[in-house]
Structure 1
Amino acid sequence: MATVIRGAHVITLAGENYSPGFLAFTDAGAIVAVGPDPGHERLTAELPMELPVEEPIEVIDGAGRLVLPGFIDAHCHVGIAEEGAPIEGDDLNETSEPLTPHLQALDGINPLDPAFADALRGGVTTVCVLPGSANIMGGQAVIMKTAGPFAERVVCNSAAVKAALGENPKRVYGEQKKAPITRMASAALLREALARAREYGRRRAETAGEPSKAPEVDLRWEALQPLLARQVPLRLHAHRADDLLTGLRIIQEFGLQAVLEHCTEGHLIAGELAQAGVPAVVGPSLVNRAKVEMREITPATAGILHGAGVLVALMTDHPVIPIQYLPLCAGLAVRHGMEEETALRAISLHAARILGLDAFVGSLEPGKQADVVLWDGHPFDTRSSVTQVWIRGRMVYSPEASRCPGEGNTYKCG
């Protein structure tokens, strides 16, 4: 079955917008056409172009509404820090040791966390769920959809390795009277882990075909081989400028792909970050100065970094900011200097590029996955609401839906 939305303001985030416009996609998962819709006043009128699909076709009146790609939260903890279960559902940090790169966030996620339904209410269809920042290396991120059959939600497991510098590891392990107690120890532990993993990989390669000589399998160092091979990025938690610069030194020393997370003082060193060519996922900006390293927090950071040439996405860091308010975070960035379309891309196409998914999601273009959201107003207007959501071409949210998350694919508006 194909779905055609007619007469809406279609914001593709691919360079062309259409008002009135139409968007066509199939429940097989792909967008098949997008463009202007001069005959939208009569929904029974002939479509503006022939569609490469068979009947039936469902036509939706989008007059007075906006069509946007599903938003992407590039850094959150949905499902792994569960709503309403502060102890039982907290699987964010394994604080028994500071180096746990072999842990997988997916193994800690509860797909029935109500925050997944909240995500749809905010137009968020894709999330990158990371372990927390208590450890120097906390584990592996997972990218997943926010609705659909549970077995089909995972887009990419082991999508990145989470690391952290700054106050969090110092505080957690300082209280246990073991390293890292200082920033020097944090950096040294990160370097040590990368060096040991590199040596482990070298020895494994040298003894290939000779099992008796091969080093004993160590899941920690196995988990870092894709990172050292530049197949996945290091997602580095750092707020303060000094921690960001330390992180850049280590990234360059080991030749890693990387993404800077939070980047609270990034605006103070925007030139250095731009020169390094490392993307940044900025936020959460709608919080107070909860820690010393956040005293320079401002919603202007993302716009300043973008202006300097840094590829920027925005985050909620859910549950720090509830995930449904990702558009609000982008709206605040606009209020503090970022251009409106750039802010939309910071929660869609730019986030997709940082996650390596821009060939599939992040904009409304033929051939891309049909993650589509219908709004009754602009998402930066706090009065606006999501009216329908499709993921991979299948409707997963609308006010008329009747199924609950445990029964199928569709969420009811609460």
Structure 2
Amino acid sequence: MLIYNAEIHTMSGKGVIPKGWLTVEDGKIALIGEGTPDLIPEDSIDAGGGMLLPGFIDAHTHLGIIEDSLDFEGDDCNESTDPFTPQMRAIDGINPFDRCFEEARMRGITAAASSPGSANPCGGEICAIKTNGRRIDDMLIRTCGIKFALGENPKNVYNGKDETPITRMAVTAAIREGLYKARRYVHDMDSYYSDSENYDPPEYDIKCEALMELLDRKQKAFFHCHRADDICTAMRIAKEFSLDAVIIHGTDGHKIADIIASEELPVICGPVICDRCKPEMRGLELKNAAVLHENGVKIAICTDHTVIPIQYLPLSAQAAVKGGLSFDEALRAITIAPAEILGIDEQTGSLEPEKDADLQLYRKGENPLDLMSEPALVMISGEICRREV
């Protein structure tokens, strides 16, 4: 399929092509060119000068693992019977028939990270998924990391149970204990594999197994934290165990943006368009993403769906523009930046040959971040999910 006469925002090193064309073959972007193509087949799409850009990516959600319009029956986000559950996998709790997937697609959101919740100091494995499909295994892009939580959420959950942890010290100690056990488990496994005659393998431990790739930096450590001191605790743990870390929320990030930048930690900012619903969010400011970016921090913007419905991801980026972020950086924060943070940028997040054909088209003159805007065309892995052109 050919899409032509488009203002192409590639989100790659090629920048913006004022008038260009793009072809899709076998679910992938095949070619991108400038001007008008020599041959225009009958089934081609005339973009009419509209904006063609990658599908949006929400870097932190609970999409499908907290279902729409359901309470306990559809909430599989937190296994809050044990504070440390790295063996839980979001992919095992997601219902791809939840109607919010359709709402995401219709607003041009073609991929999202769906995560366990923040009830536990360690909640489980995050997965990056496409928003189109009927079987989650077919929608999976990759498992991208382990979710940890610091601060108020685990404190509240376990205080209500009158169990540990109920302090920030205990929350951090639970994480540290689990990581130390996993590191020793890896050492014992290595000893066994290098000299099986003199060493026995350690007794199987599903929690330690789940953390092996994290300790080997093949997966990232995603830390839920709002307050500045919790962000610094995440840095401390990341250094101690040489983790490839990401900050989720980072509400107080603007207070220590230079420190975060010095540690080279990316921040997934959000939710942005919400109230200050708990004490640790009292530092919420629209300027957060802009201040972090100005200090050299890589940022993405998220909805934390279902906190903010996923279809308002573009509006969240628009709110960050109101807070001082440039329009171009806001687009990056919901396309290529989240793809890079999640480790899926070789597959999606920008319009480049050989990447998945995850794209959307807006009519000429439309702002894709505006509340009233909707894409005229949405394509996920080459499959047309919405077409009004």
Q: TM-score range by the shorter chain?
A: over 0.9
Per-residue CA distance 1:393-414 (angstroms, 9 max, x = gap): 12123359xxxxxxxxxxxxxx
Task: Tell me which residue corresponds to 1:179.
Answer: 164
Matched, 1:112 2:97: yes
2:138 alignment counterpart: 152
Residue 382 in structure 1 maps to residue 368 in structure 2 = no
Picking from 189, 201, 218, the partner of 2:186 is 201
TM-score in terms of structure 2 length? 0.95
Pairing of 1:123-138 with structure 2 (within 5 A): 123-138=108-123
Q: Which residue of 1 aligns with 2:149?
A: 164
Code of the residue aligned with 1:115 in structure 2: it is C
What does the per-residue CA deviation read over 1:276-300, in whole Å, with 9 as the maximum and x for residues that have no partner? 0111111001110100000010121
Give, in whole Å, the separation in 2 of the partners of 1:203 and 1:17.
Answer: 52
Match of 1:33 among 31, 42, 45: 31
Query: What code does the residue aligned with 2:153 have?
Result: N
| Distance (whole Å) between structure 2 residues aligned to residue 301 and residue 251 of structure 1 | 22
For the Cα contact (< 8 Å) 2:109–2:311, is it kept in 1?
Answer: yes
String of CA shifts for 1:12-32, please: whole Å, max 9, x gaps: 122421233212111x12212
Q: Percent identity at matched positions?
A: 43
How high is the TM-score relative to the length of structure 1? 0.89
Q: Which moved more, 1:169-178 or 1:30-39?
A: 30-39
CA contact (8 A) 1:240 1:264 kept: yes
Secondary structure of the residue aligned to 1:163 is: strand
Structure 1: gaps (5+ residues): 40-45, 49-55, 401-414
Partner of 1:220: helix, strand, or coil?
helix
- In structure 2, C-alpha distance between the alignment counterparts of 1:296 and 1:245, rounded to whole Å: 16
Aligned match for 1:141, one of 126, 141, 144: 126
**What SS does the aligned partner of 2:376 have?**
strand
Task: Check 1:211–1:77 CA distance in 2 against 1; reply closer, same or farther (3 A cut).
Answer: farther
Letter matched to residue 142 of structure 2: C
Q: Which position in structure 2 is the counterpart of 1:16?
A: 15
Matched, 1:214 2:201: yes
State the 1:57 CA deviation: 6.5
Structure 2 residue ranges without an equivalent (≥5): none
Aligned twin of 1:412: none
Could you tell me which residue of structure 2 aligns to residue 192 of structure 1?
177
Cα deviation, residue 211, structure 1: 11
Name 1:122's counterpart in structure 2: 107
Match of 1:364 among 341, 351, 360: 351
Residue type at the aligned position of 1:154:
L
Which residue of structure 1 aligns with residue 86 of structure 2?
Answer: 101
Q: Distance in 2 between matches of 1:215 and 1:185?
A: 27
Per the TM alignment, residue 361 of structure 1 is displaced from its structure 2 partner at its CA by: 1.2
Do the aligned partners of residues 293 and 112 (structure 1) sit closer, same or farther apart at CA in structure 2, a change above 3 Å counting? same
Q: Structure 2 counterpart of 1:382, which letter?
A: L
Letter of the 1:32 counterpart = A
For each residue in 1:192-234, what CA deviation from the matched residue of structure 2 results, as whole angstroms up to 9, or x when unmatched?
1111111111112212346982221010111011111111010
The letter of the residue matching 2:378 is V
Deviates more, 1:124-133 or 1:378-387: 378-387
How many angstroms apart in 2 are the aligned matches of 1:212 and 1:274? Answer: 43
Superposed displacement of residue 64, structure 1: 4.1
Q: Deviations over 1:337-373 (max 9, x none)?
A: 1111111010001111101122221111122211111
Question: Which range moves more in the overlay, 366-375 or 106-115?
Answer: 366-375
Q: Helix, strand or coil: the match of 1:373?
A: strand
- In 2, the alpha carbon distance for the partners of 1:231 and 1:218 equals 19
Number of aligned residue pairs: give it: 383
- Take 1:357 and 1:206, find their aligned partners in 2: how far apart are those partners? 33
Pick one of 365, 386, 389 that aligns with 1:397.
Answer: 386
CA contact (8 A) 1:148 1:396 kept: no
Q: Distance in 1 between matches of 2:343 and 2:313?
A: 20
- In structure 2, what is the Cα distance between the partners aligned to 1:373 and 1:363? 11
Q: 1:241 aligns with which of 203, 215, 228?
A: 228
Q: Distance in 2 between matches of 1:379 and 1:249?
A: 39
- Distance, in Å, in 2 between the alignment partners of 1:223 and 1:342 is 35
Relative distance call for 1:350 and 1:342 in structure 2 (3 A) is same
1:4 and 2:2 correspond: yes
Asked if 1:334 corresponds to 2:332, the answer is no
1: CA distance between counterparts of 2:388 and 2:64?
23
Q: Greater CA deviation, 370-379 or 95-104? A: 370-379
How far apart are residue 385 of structure 1 and its match?
Answer: 1.0
1:288 aligns with 2:288: no
Matched-pair contact (CA < 8 Å) for 2:191–2:199: no
Structure 2: distance between partners of 1:199 and 1:219? 14
**Are the aligned partners of 2:96 and 2:134 in contact in 1 as well (CA < 8 Å)?**
no
Distance 1:199 1:188 in 2: 16
1:60 aligned residue: 45
1:270 to 1:71, Cα distance in 2 relative to 1, 3 A? same
Cross-structure match for 1:52: none
